[in-house]
Structure 1
Amino acid sequence: MTEADHHDRELEELELELLLEAVYRRYGYDFRGYARASLRRRLWRRADLEGLRSLSGLQERVLHDPHCLERLLADLSINVTAMFRDPTFHQALRRDVFPELRTHPFVRVWVAGCSTGEEVMSIAIALHEEGMLDRSRIYATDMDADVLARARTGGFALEKVRDYTRNYLAAGGTDSFSGYYAVTGDQAVFDPDLLRTVVFAQHNLATDGSFNEFNLVICRNVLIYFGRDLQDRVLGLFDESLPRRGVLALGRKETLRGTAIEERYEPVVEAERIYRRS
């Protein structure tokens, strides 16, 4: 790397830090702890789409144009999801977690970073089939108001339903999947009763605190986008939200190994990153 390249990289890093600080101080969204490589790509993509040549230019536009902020939030939100994604994970929930949950008079589940609601619907269907939905409350949270609005509708693209059906069957589904939804145009709209016990709410894992005690916290494939300090902060938040024998479920590329809370948890199914507070 030449001296000029080094100077350019230092300047870009300064612009990036100032942009993130500006977004936090002006709007309260905190991306300062996100993994840098992915964040840099997303910020530059937004700058290019806005016709801007620098991150400083993006900072100015975001500060003066709330609509630009909304576009940026959509870029920074991680919305890759599917119903019954990783079927063996959902198998493990039914086999190794639900039997103990069934012994509780009431079950509280937190789906953190719920995106457009596919995982929420998957959990609701599984709880229904296990006879627990009527005495459960699912809290579905995300920092993005737009994806929460989509999640509330219970509608998903019809073209994806074939894959979702395959996942459902592989995950141990016991009913006819097609009985859960009606086709409306190009949407599969699921039975509203499945979301009757769901509370949708905005919650920013980077800045907001614990708001209840849960028997099961599910946060899959979110921590991988955070830097180590923010990961520790979020894991501490989940730890505060779980009682003894509460269950924490992460994504396959995420783990409690080497974290500050590791010693307080035992693996239920390590391969599926499901842990119980001991």
Structure 2
Amino acid sequence: MEREYEKEFAMTTGKNELEIIEIELLLEGVYRLYGYDFRNYALPSLKRRIWHHVHSENVPSISALQEKVLHDRACFERLIYSLSIPVTEMFRDPGLFLTFRQKVIPLLRTYPYIRIWHAGCSTGEEVYSMAILLHEEGLYDKARIYATDMNNRSLQQAKEGVYEISKMKQYTKNYLEAGGTRAFSEYYSAKYNSVILQPYLRKNIIFAEHNLATDTSFNEFNVIFCRNVMIYFNDELRDNVHGLFNESLSRFGVLVLGSKESIHFTKYSDSYEALDRVEKIYRKVN
């Protein structure tokens, strides 16, 4: 009985090792051929998404997926979308936006010009939420929002500003809880089963591809939003991205992280003070 258990354990261990080798080879191939670097993403989440894509591509193994990805650009683009599945909504976590109004907006009023970077902006809902908030606070005309993501398909949807009408009930609820001062319906026009956001909300937004794993700083910012992105990174990549943000923030610039993320336990923790520990809003002090 003990020998059978040992044999089964050895087989399971060998299977897991093979799976990890296949994943590493796939990610190395993607990086070397296409320049997209997922090699330092957290393995558990990455593994689930890769296997999901194996099944959706109807191939028998990760190795077979690698062969298809390396020889078929369309398959690669589908893989990129699978590995960066957008999960977002307008005024997601309303308490965060309410706190931003109360604690960060007064600071931004003192600046002659405001630069905000939404890193990993996905399909743009968070970006437009910020545009609405700045508009209501009378700051949008002196602001520039840089919205970046590595997923071109998500960026295209963000540029269009078109969303499902079925989501508007939840978005309206979020908006009101976030301190919204108007009727949320003023910010969009309905057409069939979709809504399109008002064009003036896009006028000060720049959408661009940017990969946090491989690309460098491109400007100095007063505010950086990066929420629920680094939870998919391993410690090495997370530290690298915090270094990128630290380099990109002006002195007294504000960093906003996701609910499960923190500046603590990074080598940059002493560079920040907490404006709100619950909502993960930090200000760079040195």
Give the TM-score normalised by the residue count of structure 1: 0.99
| Partner of residue 179 from structure 1, selected from 182, 186, 193 | 186
SS of aligned partner of 1:211: coil
CA RMSD of aligned residues (A): 0.8
SS of aligned partner of 1:246: strand
TM-superposition CA deviations, 1:158-179 (whole Å, max 9, x none): 0000100000000001111111
Q: 2:141 and 2:29 mapped to 1: Cα distance? A: 44
TM-superposition CA deviations, 1:37-78 (whole Å, max 9, x none): 010111111111212121111111000001111111111113
Query: 1:232 aligned to 2:210?
Result: no
Report the equivalent of 1:247.
254
**Consecutive aligned runs of 4 or more in structure 1 exceeding 2 Å deviation:** none
Residues 254 and 273, structure 1, Cα contact 8 Å, conserved in 2:
yes
| Partner of residue 152 from structure 1, selected from 159, 182, 186 | 159
Q: 1:49 and 1:172 mapped to 2: Cα distance? A: 41
* Alignment length (residue pairs): 278
Report the equivalent of 1:222.
229
Read off the aligned partner of 1:34 and give its amino acid letter.
Answer: Y
Read off the aligned partner of 2:230 and give its amino acid letter.
Answer: L
Report the equivalent of 1:5.
12
In the TM superposition, residue 266 of structure 1 has moved relative to its aligned partner by 0.4
| Partner of residue 164 from structure 1, selected from 162, 171, 184 | 171
Aligned pairs for 1:103-182 (under 5 A) are 103-182=110-189
SS of aligned partner of 2:249: coil
| Partner of residue 99 from structure 1, selected from 98, 106, 112 | 106
Residues 82 and 164, structure 1, Cα contact 8 Å, conserved in 2:
yes
SS of aligned partner of 1:243: strand
Q: 1:11 and 1:96 mapped to 2: Cα distance? A: 50
Q: 2:75 and 2:238 mapped to 1: Cα distance? A: 27
In the TM superposition, residue 109 of structure 1 has moved relative to its aligned partner by 0.2
Residues 114 and 120, structure 1, Cα contact 8 Å, conserved in 2:
yes
Read off the aligned partner of 2:253 and give its amino acid letter.
Answer: G
Q: 1:71 and 1:78 mapped to 2: Cα distance? A: 11
In the TM superposition, residue 132 of structure 1 has moved relative to its aligned partner by 0.5
Q: 1:51 and 1:117 mapped to 2: Cα distance? A: 31
Query: 1:276 aligned to 2:276?
Result: no
SS of aligned partner of 1:104: coil
Q: 1:4 and 1:80 mapped to 2: Cα distance? A: 36
In the TM superposition, residue 192 of structure 1 has moved relative to its aligned partner by 0.6
Question: Which structure has the bigger radius of gyration?
Answer: 2
Report the equivalent of 2:267.
260
Give me the identity figure in percent.
53
Residues 111 and 218, structure 1, Cα contact 8 Å, conserved in 2:
yes
Q: 2:155 and 2:61 mapped to 1: Cα distance? A: 31
SS of aligned partner of 1:72: helix
Residues 215 and 247, structure 1, Cα contact 8 Å, conserved in 2:
yes
Structure 1 residues not aligned, in runs of 5+: none
Residues 78 and 222, structure 1, Cα contact 8 Å, conserved in 2:
no
Q: 1:78 and 1:137 mapped to 2: Cα distance? A: 26
Q: 1:156 and 1:51 mapped to 2: Cα distance? A: 30
Aligned pairs for 1:40-59 (under 5 A) are 40-59=47-66
Query: 1:78 aligned to 2:85?
Result: yes
SS of aligned partner of 2:275: strand
Q: 2:210 and 2:170 mapped to 1: Cα distance? A: 29
SS of aligned partner of 2:158: helix
